């Protein structure tokens, strides 16, 4: 090394505590990384996996509980409860779920749902397991349809050898009657549906439970609007049609014309090469009645109607009414199975037991098989017409369903009777000044009640709104009167009478009760009532025209116009319109009418008179005074 070269400084050793600090920081960083990785690993491992339902397609029915939903999905109930808690709903496993909520929960678990009523669900498994070998032939259910006054009830009357027509008001059938007759030791069940235009819904319901439709057409009248409706209902229900051309005994009967009209509607007669059975007959002379029954049995054999009698009964409520002595009574058509006295059943929101059964002739029955119409006693309340009548074995579940339905019905009623809010007030203001006619409707049977409610609400016009606040079966009670009083409504009774206490209360409260037995008279009266609700219309009626020729000032009276009556007549009760250059200057009433110095009641054309106008003195020669009166007319719809 060169002696003069600088010597590099020796490395100074780092202090011991500095080395320890660096080592400590490195260890801490390493530990932090380990902790983060561990947490990440744990979070991944414990991240809850989305549980999927075992059963991806389920059917749900009303009154479904949390436990039942979990069983259908094939998952634990606590997972369903957790989902509900996430939605801020705290429920137990026995909590009843709304159909919408059940759908949403099933969707969360990856399942699709199909809605089914309790009745459908309870019979679904039975029907799937039913052996076709146990099916036995059943009587056909025949619905008689057609236009009003074409002889439907007379035809049924002739078949039954009884007299139904005389017991009907105005000759119009106003509810469904169900009867059975025997032919060749075989039963045929008849349902007589009303023919009046307002009973379209009832006719449609008659077609739903039927196997064969008999379309009655009067040979002297032809195809009418309700005949076309009946054909549409039958086609919608996909049932065969047999045409009964009635009243062929009349001299102006034209059977071929009827066949031609039906051919135009797509019903080709068999004798013309078609497939529609047409039987010309006369209900009055009983001509060809046996042929009609034979044709019904022939169609029955072709269609092969069968049912299993050895299963819980399922039926349809055709009619329901409140009998003073027997309580709620339902006319039920058994569709499947056998209905027995003592069976528990569910019918809409009614759960009860069959106490007694009667056939259409009033004879007591122990049991009723498929296609047999019976009157059932033992209901707790009047069911809705058209409801399914289902015999149940699981009574606990049936009670739960009924409670659920009752709660739903109460909710809907509370919604209807909700108080006015700003939103509803704004809506009513937007709609304009619509007057309302509130109606409380009571009828003898449920079907009539339902149809009348529809018919009355259809009378609503832009000027008057018809609201049926309440419908019910049975006599008019004090409760009905109080409701009408509170709502400024009218009570309408159809084929029923008010209770004695209700009549006296109605008089005290000033509530109007209208009683009717024929539907079109009722609708006409309601139309008149609606017209009476509207503000009356005033029409101007011209009385006379007079020219002012001179004016006179008289103390305490004012200006009197000396006039010449050019046209018409002026009377003391006239209103006047003062015209100056054909411009209306003033409108008022006559305060004085004189001929010379005498007060007179009227002045005719061609005479002179003095006219003073109340509170107005600015009358000038050359003015024209027109006399008129305002006539008050009731508003028309």
Query: 130 with 311: CB under 8 angstroms?
Result: yes
Q: Is the pLDDT of residue 43 over 50?
A: no
Q: What is the mean pLDDT of residues 248-262?
A: 86
* Whole-number average pLDDT of the chain: 79
Residue 625 forms part of a structural domain: yes
| pTM listed for this prediction | 0.62
Domain boundary among 410, 443, 468: 410
Whether residue 197 sits in one domain with residue 145: yes
Task: Please indicate, yes or no, if residue 39 is contained in any of the structural domains.
Answer: no
CATH number of the domain bearing residue 488? 3.40.50.10050
Residue 230 or residue 13, greater confidence: 230
How large is the average pLDDT for residues 181-197? 75
Q: Would the pLDDT of 488 be above 60?
A: yes
**Same domain? 265 vs 339:** no
Domain shared by 247 and 143, yes or no? yes
How far apart CA 10 and CA 120 sit, in angstroms, is 100
d(CA 440, CA 231): 34
Same domain for 566 and 510 = no
In a domain, 25, yes or no: no
| The predicted structure's pLDDT at residue 44 | 46
My answer on whether 271 and 346 are in the same domain is no
What value does the mean pLDDT take over residues 45-65? 68
End residue of a domain, out of 368, 395, 410: 410
Same domain for 289 and 200: yes
Position 21 in a domain: no
67 falls within a domain: yes
Confidence band, pLDDT 50/70/90 cuts, at residue 551: very high
Query: In the numeric block, which tokens belong to residue 195?
Result: 């023919």
Q: 3-state DSSP: the chain helix, strand, coil percent, rounded to 5? A: 35, 30, 35
Q: Which CATH number is 618's domain given?
A: 2.40.30.10
Q: What percentage of the chain reaches a pLDDT higher than 90?
A: 8
Q: Say yes or no to pLDDT of 32 above 70.
A: no
Whether 238 and 151 share a structural domain: yes
Q: Are residues 201 and 241 in the same domain?
A: yes
8 A C-beta contact, residue 388 and residue 105: no
- Clarify whether residues 195 and 258 are in a common domain: yes
Q: How far apart are CA 147 and CA 230, in angstroms?
A: 8
Residues 107 and 151 in one domain: no
If asked whether residues 242 and 276 sit together in one domain, one would say yes
What span, in angstroms and rounded, lies between the C-alpha atoms of 381 and 128?
Answer: 33
Structural domains of the chain, count: 5
Band (pLDDT 50/70/90 cuts) for residue 37 is low
Q: Are residues 182 and 299 in the same domain?
A: yes
160 pLDDT above the threshold of 70: yes
Which domain does 321 fall in, by range?
A: 314-410
């Amino acid at each position: 090394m060169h002696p003069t070269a600088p010597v590099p400084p020796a490395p100074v050793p780092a202090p011991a505590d500095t080395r320890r600090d660096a080592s400590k920081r490195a260890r801490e960083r390493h530990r932090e990384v380990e902790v983060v990785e561990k947490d990440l690993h744990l979070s991944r491992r414990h991240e809850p996996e989305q549980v999927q339902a075992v059963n991806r397609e389920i059917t749900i029915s009303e009154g479904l509980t949390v436990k039942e939903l979990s069983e259908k999905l094939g998952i634990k109930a606590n997972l369903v409860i957790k989902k509900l808690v996430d939605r801020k709903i705290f429920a137990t496993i026995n909590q009843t779920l709304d159909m919408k909520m059940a759908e949403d929960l099933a969707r969360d678990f990856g399942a699709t749902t199909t809605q089914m009523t309790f009745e459908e669900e309870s019979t679904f498994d039975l029907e799937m397991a039913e052996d076709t070998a146990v099916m036995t032939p059943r009587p056909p259910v025949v619905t008689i349809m057609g236009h009003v006054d074409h002889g439907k009830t007379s035809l049924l009357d002739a078949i039954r050898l009884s007299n139904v027509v005389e017991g009907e008001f105005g000759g119009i059938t106003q509810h469904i009657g169900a009867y059975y007759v025997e032919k060749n030791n075989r039963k045929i069940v008849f349902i007589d549906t009303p023919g009046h235009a307002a009973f379209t819904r009832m006719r449609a319901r008659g077609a739903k439970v039927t196997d064969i439709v008999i379309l009655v057409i009067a040979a002297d009248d032809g195809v009418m609007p309700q005949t076309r409706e009946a054909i549409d209902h039958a086609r919608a229900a996909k049932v065969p049609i047999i045409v009964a051309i009635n009243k062929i005994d009349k001299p102006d009967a034209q059977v071929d014309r009827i066949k031609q009209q039906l051919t135009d509607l797509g019903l080709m007669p068999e004798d013309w090469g078609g497939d529609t059975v047409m039987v010309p007959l006369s209900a009055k002379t009983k001509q060809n009645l046996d042929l009609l029954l034979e044709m019904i049995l022939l169609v029955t054999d072709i269609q092969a109607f069968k049912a299993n009698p050895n299963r819980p009964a399922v039926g349809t409520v055709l009619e329901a009414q409140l009998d003073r002595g027997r309580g709620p009574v339902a006319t039920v058509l058994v569709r499947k199975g056998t209905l027995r006295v003592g069976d528990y059943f569910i019918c809409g929101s009614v759960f009860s037991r069959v106490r007694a059964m009667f056939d259409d002739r009033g004879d007591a029955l122990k049991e009723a098989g498929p296609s047999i119409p019976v009157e059932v006693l033992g209901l707790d309340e009047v069911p809705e017409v058209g409801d399914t009548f289902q015999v149940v074995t699981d009574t606990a579940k049936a009670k739960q369903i009924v409670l659920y339905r009752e709660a739903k019905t109460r909710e809907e009623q509370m919604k209807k009777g909700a108080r006015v809010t700003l939103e509803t007030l704004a809506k009513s203001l937007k709609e304009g000044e619509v007057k309302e006619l509130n109606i409380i409707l009571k009828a003898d049977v449920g079907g009539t009640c339902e149809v009348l409610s529809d018919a009355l609400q259809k009378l609503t016009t832009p000027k008057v709104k018809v609201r049926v606040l309440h419908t019910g079966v049975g006599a008019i009670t004090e409760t009905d009167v109080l409701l009408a009083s509170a709502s400024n409504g009218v009570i309408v009774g159809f084929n029923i009478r008010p209770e004695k206490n209700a009549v006296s209360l109605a008089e005290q409260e000033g509530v109007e009760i209208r009683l009717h037995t024929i539907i079109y008279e009722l609708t006409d009266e309601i139309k008149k009532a609606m017209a009476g609700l509207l503000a009356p219309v005033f029409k101007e009626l011209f009385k006379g025209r007079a020219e002012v020729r001179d004016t006179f000032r008289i103390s305490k009276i004012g200006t009197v116009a000396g006039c010449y009556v050019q046209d018409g007549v002026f009377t003391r009760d006239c209103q006047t319109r003062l015209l100056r250059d054909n411009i209306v200057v003033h409108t008022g009433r006559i305060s004085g009418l004189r001929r010379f110095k005498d007060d007179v009641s009227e002045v005719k054309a061609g005479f002179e008179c003095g006219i003073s106008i109340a509170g107005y003195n600015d009358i000038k020669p050359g003015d024209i005074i027109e006399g008129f009166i305002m006539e008050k007319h009731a508003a028309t719809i």
